[in-house]
Amino acid sequence: MRFLVLPLALLLSACGLSPMYAGGGNGRVATGLAAIEVSPISGQLGWLMRDALIERLGADGGSPQYRLDVRLDDQLEGLGLLGDDTIGRERRTLRARYRLVDLTTGETVLDTTSGMDAGIDVVSSEYATIAAEQTAIENLTREVSERIVTNVALKLRANGPAPVM
């Protein structure tokens, strides 16, 4: 069994994979993410998204090197008509269009979109349905913010700032 482990370890090290957060808190990606300022986003949904992004980015409060501009599109549509012509299911869709701007040059480093959908059962209690819709938007906000930060981290890893030592 030991004879199989060594060749597999050598093959894995030769595949070109490297850790995203190499260097820990002083690595290229971590310092790049901490140097991003998130522009204000309007509305309650915007507040949720901005808060989730700031939390995930780990901003250090220093002078920002990048600005993240986000525009949100939130849609709620009824699906699945029941026999009495009422809606039995809803789909909540959250899409975010975001741009990462280098504050030094004003150049747009990344301009893309990310989004997710969630299904919601419509029940006889209006309160329960509203609570389910709110929970869905909170979960979608968290998931979309994680996708945004992952995409930004990949971009910074590819051509981000040098690590601060």
> Distances from the Cα of 152 to the Cαs of 51, 67, 90, in angstroms?
16, 11, 31
162 within 8 A of 42, measured Cβ to Cβ = no
pLDDT at 140 over 50: yes
Residue 5 maps to a domain: no
Evaluate whether residue 118 is within a structural domain.
Answer: yes
Domain that holds residue 100: 20-159
pLDDT at 81 over 60: yes
Does this model's pTM top 0.85? My answer is: no
Confidence of residue 84 (pLDDT cuts 50, 70, 90): confident
Question: What CATH number is given to the structural domain containing 128?
Answer: 3.30.160.150
